[in-house]
Amino acid sequence: MAKLNIGAGTDIRKDFINLDIRNLEGIDLVADIRTCTLPMKFDYIVCQHLLEYIPRASMVPVLTKLKDALSPSGILEIRVTDWSLVSKYLYLNMLSGEQGISHEMALSLLYGRQANSYDIRYSGFTADYLQGVLNTVGFRLLTIVIEDFDIIVTVTT
């Protein structure tokens, strides 16, 4: 079973090809997903907090590339920050005097930690917006889960 972990960063997964734009320890393929050619078809592709770092103009082309890289019964798992939840908690913090999520944590969730030039978020998602983008590309939704501040979807072609 061929598996790909795109935007792996330090989340190196055994039995996956770990791809990242940075040459970090454990990365098997150093490439920019926007411009690279994927080497084969994959049965499973995972993108954890990758789409937020893709400029909106490149979103549909990247998702189309991932769709094309899936085997006929392949699954794509996407995890993104749920901006509606972050916004809700910021509003509740304002009402309650900063109890719960801190303002700095919220800024990191919305805009990235900005620790390096690749750690700046260009896009934000709600569950409806993510589903709309995935539908535009022609994916079929399998599951959607909200966990902590994340939206986790699995789709297939």
Distance CA 6, CA 11 (A): 10
Beta bridge partners, 76, equal 45, 155
Pick the closest to residue 149 from 85, 91, 100 (CA basis): 85
Q: Hey, what amino acid is at 19? A: L
Tens digit of each residue's pLDDT (9 = 90 or more) over 57-82 = 999 999 999 999 999 999 999 999 99
Domains of the chain: 3-82+120-156 (3.40.50.150)
Cβ contact 45:6 at 8 Å: yes
Tens digit of each residue's pLDDT (9 = 90 or more) over 91-110 = 766 666 655 566 677 777 77
pLDDT per residue of the chain (157 residues) written in tens, 0 to 9: 899 999 999 999 999 999 999 999 999 999 999 999 998 999 999 999 999 999 999 999 999 999 999 999 999 999 999 988 887 877 766 666 655 566 677 777 777 777 877 877 888 899 999 999 999 999 999 999 999 889 999 999 9
What does DSSP say about strands 150-156 and 70-81: parallel, antiparallel, or unpaired? antiparallel
